[in-house]
Structure 1
Amino acid sequence: MKVCVVGAGPCGLTTIKQLLDEGHEVVCFDKNPSSGGIWLREGDDGSTMKAYDSLMLTISMKLMAYSDFPFQGGRVFYSRREYFEYLQEYATTFGLHDHIRFGHEVTDIVRKPASWTVTVQHDGVETIEDFDAVAVCSGPFKTPHRDIPGLENFTGEIVHSAEYRDNERFRGKKVLVVGMAESGADIVREVGDVADECTLAIRSYTYLLPRIFNGTRTTDNGTVRSHHHEMLDRSSHYPFALDTIWGRSPIAKAVFGVVSVVLGVLTTALGAARVYRDKLIPSMRAPQPELNPMREAVDPPKLDIGTEHNDANFEMIRTWNRRSHPDGSWAQRGIFCKNVSFIPHLVSGRITLNDAGISSSDGNTVTFGDSTSAEFDTIVLCTGFTKEELSIGDLQVKDANVRNLYKHFLHPEHQGTAAFIGFVRPFSGGIPICAEMQARYFARVLSGKLTPPADLDERIGREKEWEEHWTELSPRHTEAIPSQVLYLDALAREIGCLVPMSMMLRNPKLFIQLWFGSFNQACYRIVGPHNRGKAALDDLYSEIVDNRREMAWRMSTLRFLPTDVHPEHMM
């Protein structure tokens, strides 16, 4: 088929690649002069959404890479420029730029009985072209959310985080930062470095998760398939909505459970033997790295950028997270902030916290919900983006809610010829691999090799209810999914690239690695279409299962939580 792809950021690039793998003709339109989306920085781009100068990924490159172009190395966090260079290398390796028309902006998409008509603007000239299918990959970061109640009468400078590049414009000023997500955590820290006064205003507490634990490992090392099943399937009474390794057969699930217990006991015993061996023979211990995953010195141990692993920072994180669930319990019900680099400024007092929300403003004075007030020169809005531009022309998403699409991407009304790829946000995990798997599915639907379920509407409704249950603390974020692992496994099962249960039962090493090991998307290139075979297996086995890993991660994370929280309810 002839397929139109809108946008050449990380999601658009992998969509082009997966469509080409299935033999489709692809034309991608991007209004920028080159690929990369928000990671591309060129010229005077201060008024558009772009990654800021000092940005570091909150997910390690192992999980931010594509499964067909894996990251060759350990779990480290890349900078903005490093990740942009990775995207360029991906595009160059597979010749993706040959299929992109840069400087072209899609302005309208019209549905015809058997095709899609796409209108494009380029250098002031409008052109129209017909396609068999359309994939919108332009991402949700378009229109900054600036309409904040209470700030209507503020006469000082108001800047949205989309425009933030560095902290120089805030030097010596009194700054109010409103809202906080992962980028907000960086921004409030950097503003706090240079401002005369910096106040962080929030209405609720987002659960904090450090990027590093035990000083040397990335926290996403603790993303373990068995753990996600434990949280969202086995330990919950809420009906599980996704198909998984054993499908929906209770017998297969029981068999799988028995084998997992046997192999789990064996793995634990072997791990205990390694611990005993290391105590007896110190020379057998793995050497201590000099740098942590943020590439800062290991000593003193750190939790994040410049955030020492000390009691004061720990207690501040625990206090914050306790407030994120004021009923005293904790469950995975809201988006995480995988960035605690602002915590030292809270501890030292460089940042003042106000959690009462904003009540009103008058001139340069802002009054908070607790009736306190203060004067500010500048307000920085870390308040996210609206969803008003999600649809284009006839390609509409009901209620601007991607949960009304199948698996967040496949439109149920256009016979599999329309997709919104990349409009998904895992609580913990990378968006690019989600986009890649969505694109693989879409490409095979267009090839006629994959037929979406007949009960599409029923499945959309069931999965929407399940996601809303597990994301009820983040109701505005309809793109959020509680588990990247379970979501990707469900997609992989339909694509045909999920390692079958029978293969796992025949190969205990593979079973242990997939079930108890750190999640690695190489698992979706072992079998099925366009697999990498042994190369994918080698990548998977490059991170040897260490049963101490999950326990250390659990115990480390437990210190951030209220003392009455049971470990089985942890992320």
Structure 2
Amino acid sequence: MTIIQHPDAVAVIGAGPAGLVTARWISAQGFEPVLFEAAAQAGGQWNAASPLSATWRGMRTNTSRVMSAFSDLDHAEGTPVYPRQEDMLDYLQTYAARFGLSERIRWRTRVERLEKAGGAYLVTSRGEGGRTVERFARVVVATGRYIAPSFPEIPGCGGFTGVLGASHTARYDGGSVYRDRDVLVAGCSISALEIASDLALSGARSVTACYRRQRYILPKLIAGVPTDHVMFTRAAALAGEVLPPEALAAGLKAKVTAVAGTPDQFGAMRPDDNIFAAGISQAHAFLPLVAEGRIAVRPWIERIEDRLVHFADGSAREFDAILFGTGYRLSLPFLSEDIAAALGLNETQIDLCDHTFHPDLDGLAFVGFYDLVGPAFPVLELQARWIAYAWGGAVAMLGLEALQERLAEARARRNGPKAVAMHEMALLFARNANVEPDRSRWPELERALLFGPLSPTSFRLQGPDSLADAPARTRAAAGAFGAIRSPELSQEERALRDLFGRPATRVA
């Protein structure tokens, strides 16, 4: 077997958003990225032609254009507040071209195995030229968290006889095929609620949504301001570091219900009083469509008999189709047995230090393998910068003892909530990369930094790779849509700022 040696290159597995932004930043640190991409073009989930894409015709992002971008490139003028799938694909391909990444991508090349080989890694891939084995000192896995649909175990599900069958929302491609049909959408994730809404607006005869628990549901816009500009802020993250869970839950519930009401007000089910126990989802049209009677809501499925679905409340109805919006399992089938064992990998969990490194796997990093609540692009970029800076020497790599300590913390959280809020994750990676701005250095930006969106450019104010125009762009992002009109803090905001002066625990 001939092994091709790449002593100075870094293998990046995946050319979606995570892989592209990682390649951009490790290249800036002097490494030569080699990207492996199974599809014929970059884009990951946003490449609708990829068999692993879960996008559908007419799909829009659930995060605003400001928060669906990286710090080096804004969306093209005229892009909607919530970009379309094709806008996101154009954006990512423009980003790849700007940083010379396209010529470094092996198209239609699937990685079949990643294994340790002494102090390096062997990457076995199969492309149009056949099977290749290459040796890299460093590897980044960026294949995506949401590629392997997860189906629940429901008695009788395999015998469902509806004419359009039962499938996962990952295979949904628009509402036209469901016109004049009775459709059940199972799940309360963003995609499940958005697809239920799309079906109701696309001519389905009836749409029913069912789920195990009722989440609180936010719209995409709050008084004309994108929800991610209001909910995912530094203030929210810093409050989480100093306030007890009970106070956090009460404050979050008060904020959510003040701007969005509670689902039972619209005719949906009543959520748990504790908002952390209930959870939060987002869909702009779902609750109004419930209120109009265009979407019915039921508790979870008890069993299925032919076309008849029995629900936990004793009701039953026949359906032509069932769409399961029930999440995704972790899928990294190319990892060797020893790497998978070291990571404690299963369908829901991977043990990593700060979601990125492992003390027993030097030279291997993972990007994007977390259930993230909120905008992903700023978080992916910060994680990529931390990896690049740690490997390139711009910041100190965590020592073995620190890696082991943080890995132990991750393992201790195995049975806890899997989802992590965007603002918490962003601060974690920004601090690790030494790019979280010191607010005392930016008094003119204090309100924008605390109560504006956690925009990508707000992490280019200081530290490695700071930008001269970052202050102006940070101010513009905070002022977009009229969210932050004045630099002056209100009395309530001053009180919160003073609260953040207390000693904080490390964001996990």
Q: TM class, shorter-chain normalised?
A: 0.7 to 0.9
Deviations 1:19-39 (A, max 9, x none): 101110111110100100111
**Partner-residue secondary structure (3-state), 1:323:** coil
Matched, 1:119 2:57: no
* CA shift in 2, pair 1:218/1:118, >3 Å: same
Matched, 1:339 2:346: no
**Partner-residue secondary structure (3-state), 1:505:** helix
Q: 1:370, CA displacement in angstroms? A: 2.3
**Partner-residue secondary structure (3-state), 1:434:** helix
8 Å CA contact retained: 2:44, 2:53: no
Choose 12-21 or 182-191, whichever is displaced more: 182-191
* CA shift in 2, pair 1:320/1:520, >3 Å: farther
8 Å CA contact retained: 2:61, 2:85: yes
Matched, 1:488 2:432: no
Deviations 1:179-230 (A, max 9, x none): 131111121112223222222121111221111111x211222133123322
* CA shift in 2, pair 1:463/1:72, >3 Å: farther
Aligned to 1:133: 138
Aligned to 1:424: 370
Aligned to 1:189: 197
**Partner-residue secondary structure (3-state), 1:81:** helix
Tell me, in whole angstroms, the C-alpha distance in 2 between the residues paired with 1:462 and 1:233.
16
Matched, 1:169 2:103: no
Aligned to 1:104: 109
Tell me, in whole angstroms, the C-alpha distance in 2 between the residues paired with 1:513 and 1:115.
44
Matches within 5 A, 1:284-295: none
Aligned to 1:51: 55
**Partner-residue secondary structure (3-state), 1:152:** helix
* CA shift in 2, pair 1:524/1:464, >3 Å: farther
Aligned to 2:160: 154
Output the TM-score relative to the length of structure 1: 0.74
Q: 1:72, CA displacement in angstroms? A: 7.0
* CA shift in 2, pair 1:227/1:50, >3 Å: closer
Aligned to 1:219: 227
* CA shift in 2, pair 1:349/1:139, >3 Å: same
Query: Structure 1: which amino acid aligns with 2:391?
Result: L
Matches within 5 A, 1:465-480: 465=412, 471=417, 478=418, 480=419
Percentage of matched positions with identical amino acids: 24
Aligned to 1:451: 397
Tell me, in whole angstroms, the C-alpha distance in 2 between the residues paired with 1:420 and 1:63.
22
* CA shift in 2, pair 1:31/1:319, >3 Å: same
Unaligned ranges ≥5, structure 1: 241-310, 472-477, 555-571
Aligned to 1:36: 43
Tell me, in whole angstroms, the C-alpha distance in 1 between the residues paired with 2:309 and 2:151.
16
Matches within 5 A, 1:551-562: none
Tell me, in whole angstroms, the C-alpha distance in 2 between the residues paired with 1:152 and 1:549.
60
Query: Structure 2: which amino acid aligns with 1:424?
Result: Y
Matches within 5 A, 1:70-469: 70-71=74-75, 76-123=81-128, 125-150=130-155, 151-156=157-162, 157-193=165-201, 194-214=203-223, 216-222=224-230, 223-230=232-239, 232-236=240-244, 316=263, 318=265, 323-325=270-272, 328-330=273-275, 332=276, 336-355=280-299, 357-389=300-332, 392-393=335-336, 394-396=338-340, 397-400=343-346, 404-415=351-362, 417-428=363-374, 430-449=375-394, 450-453=396-399, 454-462=401-409, 465=412
Please identify which structure carries the higher strand content.
2
Tell me, in whole angstroms, the C-alpha distance in 2 between the residues paired with 1:62 and 1:447.
29
Tell me, in whole angstroms, the C-alpha distance in 1 between the residues paired with 2:279 and 2:414.
12
Q: 1:457, CA displacement in angstroms? A: 2.2
Tell me, in whole angstroms, the C-alpha distance in 2 between the residues paired with 1:526 and 1:118.
37
8 Å CA contact retained: 2:58, 2:84: yes
* CA shift in 2, pair 1:124/1:159, >3 Å: farther
Tell me, in whole angstroms, the C-alpha distance in 2 between the residues paired with 1:314 and 1:412.
46
* CA shift in 2, pair 1:227/1:176, >3 Å: closer
Q: 1:547, CA displacement in angstroms? A: 6.6
**Partner-residue secondary structure (3-state), 2:449:** helix
* CA shift in 2, pair 1:168/1:181, >3 Å: same
Aligned to 1:297: none
Tell me, in whole angstroms, the C-alpha distance in 1 between the residues paired with 2:414 and 2:464.
28
Deviations 1:456-512 (A, max 9, x none): 22223336657976x3xxxxxx3x213x22322232222222223xxx325421333
Q: 1:315, CA displacement in angstroms? A: 6.1
8 Å CA contact retained: 1:207, 1:321: no
Aligned to 2:5: none
* CA shift in 2, pair 1:398/1:322, >3 Å: same
Query: Structure 2: which amino acid aligns with 1:436?
Result: E
Query: Structure 1: which amino acid aligns with 2:142?
Result: C
Unaligned ranges ≥5, structure 2: 1-7, 249-258, 494-508
Give the count of matched residue pairs: 458
Q: 1:426, CA displacement in angstroms? A: 3.1
8 Å CA contact retained: 2:391, 2:397: no
* CA shift in 2, pair 1:333/1:67, >3 Å: farther
Q: CA RMSD in A?
A: 3.0
Query: Structure 2: which amino acid aligns with 1:35?
Result: A
Tell me, in whole angstroms, the C-alpha distance in 2 between the residues paired with 1:399 and 1:467.
11
**Partner-residue secondary structure (3-state), 1:452:** coil
Higher normalized contact order (CA 8 Å, seq sep 6+, divided by chain length): 1
Query: Structure 1: which amino acid aligns with 2:211?
Result: I
8 Å CA contact retained: 2:266, 2:290: no
8 Å CA contact retained: 2:269, 2:297: no
Choose 177-186 or 337-346, whichever is displaced more: 337-346
8 Å CA contact retained: 2:21, 2:384: yes
Aligned mate of 2:68, from 64, 70, 76: 64
Aligned to 1:519: 454
Q: 1:161, CA displacement in angstroms? A: 0.9
* CA shift in 2, pair 1:147/1:89, >3 Å: same
Deviations 1:330-356 (A, max 9, x none): 3x456532213122321122222111x
